[in-house]
Amino acid sequence: MATWRELEREPVRGLLLPLGSHEQHGPHLPLDTDTRVAVAVAAAAAGRLPGMLTLPAFPYGASGEHAGFPGTLSLGTAALATALVELVRSADLLRAPVIVVNGHGGNHDALRSAAATAVAEGRVMRVWAPPATGGDAHAGRTETSLMLAIAAETVGEERPVGATAPLRELWPALSSGRLREVAPEGVLGDARGASADEGRTLLARYTDDLVAKAEAWLTKP
């Protein structure tokens, strides 16, 4: 992390803010899975984006759908949106756009609200989220593979099979905080077959996508 004098001498081109969550990820993945993924993608992209400053991760999000599981800590949509707006405002002196690297889908509404406020105030806030890969929704093969590549020591031996119905069918329960009713283990997907090799492939794909989008945003805000 730089000092303020270093930042004053060498202005940054942009800021990468990893945004995650602190929520259950099945019986085999750590509570900070989303944050770890966001940090890994941001760090890998920063190495290919000259002049970018990676900020410390913001580790709490809007995770109301996971409220029925011990360990889930959620700010909620309104509080998260406010926190993001204040962070973007406080970055004014750096005169650099803020790119939020989002690791948790439940943060979407807060990010959309915060970005709209930033635009209305004449600030630049962009949001990156993982591109669709055809993987499962939560704590299944996709996230298990990513965590095996990022921090294998945090992954348990169990490879659970959870609710595999389409997300649109599960959404009423999720949106009302009743995920545990449809997925008692907290898994939306099938973690069998997860591998570190697949995780590395996904991480590379995510990094390529973030680098391409960031370059476009920075070139033409």
* Residues 189 and 140 sit within 8 Å (Cβ to Cβ): yes
Exposure letters 133-150 (e unless 16+ CB within 10 A, then b): eeebbbbbbbbbbbbbbb
At position 58, the amino acid (one-letter code) is F
Taking the mean position of all CA atoms in its chain, how far away is CA 202?
Answer: 14
* Residues 91 and 121 sit within 8 Å (Cβ to Cβ): no
Percent of the chain exceeding pLDDT 70 equals: 99
110-141, pLDDT tens digit by residue?
999 999 999 999 999 999 999 987 778 899 99
Whether this model's pTM surpasses 0.85? yes
Would you place residue 216 in the very low, low, confident or very high pLDDT band (cuts 50, 70, 90)?
Answer: very high
pLDDT of residue 164: 85
**Does the structure show a pLDDT above 70 at 221?**
no
CA pair distance 93, 58, nearest whole angstrom: 20
165-206, pLDDT tens digit by residue?
887 888 887 777 788 888 999 999 999 999 999 999 999 999
Mean pLDDT of 10-18: 93
* Residues 112 and 148 sit within 8 Å (Cβ to Cβ): no
Judged by phi (left if over 0) then psi (alpha if -120 to 50, else beta), residue 18 lies in beta
Answer whether CATH 3.40.640.10 is correct for domain 13-213.
Answer: no
Mean pLDDT of 40-67: 95
Mean pLDDT of 148-175: 89
pLDDT of residue 131: 92
Mean pLDDT of 80-105: 95
Burial category of 3 from C-beta neighbours within 10 Å (exposed 0-12, middle 13-18, buried 19 and up): exposed
Higher-scoring residue by pLDDT: 108, 11: 108
pLDDT of residue 2: 81
pLDDT of residue 136: 87
Mean pLDDT of 87-92: 94
pLDDT of residue 41: 98
**Does the structure show a pLDDT above 90 at 87?**
yes
Mean pLDDT of the chain: 93
Higher-scoring residue by pLDDT: 12, 36: 36
Q: In sequence order, which residues have a C-beta less than 8 Å from that of residue 141 and are 6 or more positions away?
A: 135, 189, 190, 191, 192, 193, 194, 198
